[in-house]
Amino acid sequence: MSGEAFVTLATTDSYCMGAIVVARSLQRHGTTRSTVVMVTPNLSQQSRLALEDVFDEVITVDVMDSDDHFRLSLLGRPDLGITFTKIHCWTLTQYSKCVFLDADTLVLCNVDELFERDELSAAPDPGWPDCFNSGVFVFRPSLRTHSGLLEHALQHGSFDGGDQGLLNSFFSSWPAEDISKHLPFVYNLSGSSFYSYLPAFRQFGHNAKVVHFIGAVKPWSSIRDESSSHSMEQFVSLWWKEYLGYTTSSGAGKQQECSLTDNTPVEEEGPGCGAEEAEEAEGGACTSNVDTDPVQERGGEGNAPLRDTLTGPSSLPVHSPPPAESLRPPTEPETVSWDTNTPYLVSQLALVVKCSLTDNTPVEEEGPGCGAE
C-alpha cells in the first residue's frame, strides 16, 4: 500500500465527459498524484478508451443502486441512486490516501494540499451545514470500511436515497468531532452560494479551488443555462474550454467542434478553443479569474433499508443506463427556461433601490421616476 490518488466515478457515457475534465484540470494545474476513475460495465468502448487516454488507472466496478425511489423523489433526482457505486472507492487499497472528486467538478488550481487532511474531510453542504457534501472528500481506502459501509447500507439505507445520506450517517461524528476535517467551502463551491449568500461569494469567490456543478443540469448537457447566475456561466465556460482543449489536443475532435451555439468556428490557434494559457498554481492562493460581482440571480434546487434480498455488493440492483452518448458537445444544448417575470422583478428591484436614497435626493435619470405608477 503506497501512493496517493485523486479518484472519480463515471457511470454513464455523458459523465465520462465530466471525468475527463476532472483529470485534465488536475493535470493542467500540476498535480503530483495519480488519477483514477472507477467505471461501470455499461460504458461504451469509445468512452473507456477516452478515459484511458487521460487517467493513470481505469478500474471497472460493480454497479450499486439504492433503489430508494421515495427519498430520491424528495430530492427530485431519481438518478442519484446509482451514486451508491461511489463507496467502491474504499476498495482501492493500492493507495494509502485518496481524494474523491465527483465527475461534475472542475479543479481551478493545484489542490494537492488536500492530502494533508485525514479521513473523512469534506466541506459542509450548503443546504444543511451539519452534513458534508460528498462531492469532494478525503478518505483512506480500507476493505474494513468498505464492508462497514455495505452493512450500513443494508441495515439503514440512506436518508436521501443517495451516497451523501449514506456517508453522512456512517461518518456521523463529522459535524462535531474534529473541526480540522471541515474543508473550506472554496474546495467545493456550488452554484447555491451565488443566490443564498451572494455577499460572501463576492468577497471570497475569487479564491475558489474546486467548483461543483450540483443539480440535474450539467455543463455537458447545457452550453448556456439562462437560469444560472452570471458567475456560474463563467465556470461553465471554463469547463467547456477544458473539455474542448482535450478534444483538440487528443485529436478526438477538430477545431470546428469548438463552435458553440453560434456555429462560428474558433479561429485562434493553439490548444483548446481559444482557451487562455494554463496558469500553473504551485502552492499559494488560488485565483479563479471569475467575476464575483454577478447580475441579479434566482435560486432553484426516515431511513428505508435496501431490498430485503440484498445479500452483498454483487446483488445490488443494477442501474439501467441510457443509450451510449457521444463524447462531443451537443449540437443543440438543453437549456432551462428563465422565468419571464424575472426581468420585470429585477427592474422593479432596481427602482426600489433608487427610491430608498437616504438623502431624499431625487433621481435624475430619465424614465418613470420613483413613485410613478
Helix (H) or strand (E) holding 242: helix 230-249
What topology does CATH give the domain 4-315? Spore Coat Polysaccharide Biosynthesis Protein SpsA; Chain A (3.90.550)
Question: Are the C-beta atoms of residues 304 and 157 closer than 8 Å to each other?
Answer: yes
Residue 222 has pLDDT above 80, yes or no: no
Quickly state the pLDDT bin for 94 (edges 50, 70, 90): very high
Residue 351 one-letter amino acid: L
Give residue-wise pLDDT tens across range 249-269.
876 543 333 333 333 333 333
Residue 126 one-letter amino acid: P
| Cross-strand bridge partners of residue 198 | none
Cell numbers for 200? 460572501
3-state DSSP assignment of residue 139? strand
Question: Are the C-beta atoms of residues 258 and 328 closer than 8 Å to each other?
Answer: no
Give residue-wise pLDDT tens across range 31-49.
999 999 999 999 999 999 9
Quickly state the pLDDT bin for 69 (edges 50, 70, 90): very low
Phi then psi for residue 132, to 5 deg, are -95, 155
Question: By mean pLDDT, which of 207-211, 229-233, 341-345 is the weakest?
Answer: 341-345
Q: Which of 18-32, 80-94, 329-343 holds the top average pLDDT?
A: 18-32
Residue 180 has pLDDT above 80, yes or no: yes
183-222: burial string, b at 16+ Cβ within 10 Å, e else: bebbbbbbbbbbbeebeebeebbbbbbbbbbbbebbbbeb
| Cross-strand bridge partners of residue 137 | 100, 122
Any idea where the domains of the chain sit in the sequence? Answer: 4-315, 339-373
Question: For residues 321 and 12, what is the distance between their CA atoms, to the nearest angstrom?
Answer: 6
Question: Does pTM surpass 0.75?
Answer: no
Whole-number pLDDT of residue 166 = 92
Sheet of 128-139: strand order equals 57-60, 34-39, 4-10, 97-101, 128-139, 121-125
Residue 356 has pLDDT above 80, yes or no: no
Q: What is the mean pLDDT of the chain?
A: 72
Whole-number pLDDT of residue 41 = 92
- Residue tagged 433499508 (cell numbers): 305
